């Protein structure tokens, strides 16, 4: 499922708390965007068509909830990134960040811990 950057902002709001109305989604996004209600409703409709969210009538409004889990979305996006840029391999990704972003001591410690856990599991 392909979700645009704008749609992912709406999904983030719904992943944090659901169900929510379009007005509640707009209020949550207001500090970070200049979007108006029609923009949010357009994005919600796109997500409905993609079956990333569901809507339930609540009086005169609709309440929206995610169907796509955040974990599934992150997994698909990270796999796409790895496949497209690094041939599906994690090591070149880590090497790229170590060369260009300077991994912090905390990052290095976390990577070492993860590698040790993987080694113990095999």
Domain count, the chain: 2
Is this prediction's pTM over 0.85? Answer: no
In a domain, 84, yes or no: no
User: 73: Cβ–Cβ under 8 A, 6 or more apart, which residues?
Assistant: 1, 3, 8, 11
In a domain, 49, yes or no: yes
The reported pLDDT for the residue numbered 100 is: 82
59 and 18 share a domain?
A: yes
| 1, 5, 23, 84, 112 from 106: Cα distances, Å | 33, 29, 40, 28, 10
Residue 57's CATH number: 1.10.10.10
The reported pLDDT for the residue numbered 122 is: 67
d(CA 64, CA 87): 37
Query: 33: domain range?
Result: 5-66
61 and 14 share a domain?
A: yes
43-61 in b/e form (b: 16+ CB < 10 A) is: bbebbeeeebbebeeeeee
The reported pLDDT for the residue numbered 1 is: 80
55 and 23 share a domain?
A: yes
Three-state DSSP state, 88? coil
47 and 15 share a domain?
A: yes
In a domain, 117, yes or no: yes
61 and 103 share a domain?
A: no
58 and 25 share a domain?
A: yes
**β-strands 20-21, 61-66: how paired?**
antiparallel
Mean pLDDT by runs of 10 across the 122 residues of the chain is 94 98 97 95 98 97 97 94 92 87 87 90 74
- Residue that is last in its domain, among 66, 81, 110: 66
In a domain, 38, yes or no: yes
In a domain, 104, yes or no: yes
62 and 19 share a domain?
A: yes
In a domain, 18, yes or no: yes
């Amino acid at each position: 499922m392909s979700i645009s950057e704008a749609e992912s902002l709406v999904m983030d709001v719904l992943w944090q708390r659901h169900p929510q109305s379009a007005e509640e989604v707009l209020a949550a996004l207001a500090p970070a965007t200049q979007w108006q209600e029609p923009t949010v409703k357009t994005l919600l409709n796109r997500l409905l068509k993609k079956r990333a969210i569901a809507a339930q009538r609540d009086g005169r409004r609709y309440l929206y909830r995610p169907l796509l889990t955040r974990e599934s979305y992150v997994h698909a996006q990270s796999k796409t990134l790895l496949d497209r840029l690094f041939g599906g391999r994690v090591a070149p990704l880590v090497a790229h960040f170590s060369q260009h972003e300077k991994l912090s001591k905390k990052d290095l410690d976390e990577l070492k811990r993860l590698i040790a856990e993987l080694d113990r599991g095999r």
